Amino acid sequence: MESSSALVAGGVEQMALAARDFSLSLAQLYAGMLLLEHADCSVGSQADVVAAERWAQLPLPLLPPRSYSSNTVAQDKELLS
């Protein structure tokens, strides 16, 4: 597993990729919290509860640390060009 110091040493592109991934995970957690809060309030319906439960079952988009290697970043760039 690649340590955070190795990730920092890997460069700005790897850090940006990890930061975007982390931001997406935080956004997904926040959206789930809002869904749960709405389902629990007085205007929440059974459909809101089901939607919150389904959202909570989604996997977080965090990638394993090896996905941030310089080789993986280079391969991703090739895919996009």
Domain count, the chain: 1
Looking at the domain assignment, is residue 55 inside a domain?
A: yes
Residue 54 included in any domain: yes
pLDDT, one tens digit per residue, over 26-52 is 999 999 999 999 999 888 899 999 999
Residue-level pLDDT at 10: 61
- Considering the domain boundaries, does residue 13 fall inside one? yes
- Tell whether 21 is covered by a domain: yes
Looking at the domain assignment, is residue 22 inside a domain?
yes
Query: For residue 37, how many C-alpha atoms fall within 13 Å in the half-sphere facing its CB?
Result: 6
| Domain residue limits at 12 | 4-62
Cα Rg for the chain, rounded, in angstroms?
Answer: 17
Reported confidence tier of residue 1, pLDDT bands at 50, 70, 90: very low
Higher pLDDT pick, 41 / 81: 41
pLDDT at 18 over 70: yes
pLDDT digits (tens, 9 = 90+) for 51-77: 999 999 988 777 666 677 777 777 877
- pLDDT of the residue at 22: 85
Q: Burial of 46 by CB count in 10 Å (0-12 exposed, 13-18 middle, 19+ buried)?
A: exposed
Looking at the domain assignment, is residue 56 inside a domain? yes
Task: Confirm whether 77 is domain-assigned.
Answer: no
CA dist 27 and 29 (Å) reads 5
- 74 in any annotated domain: no
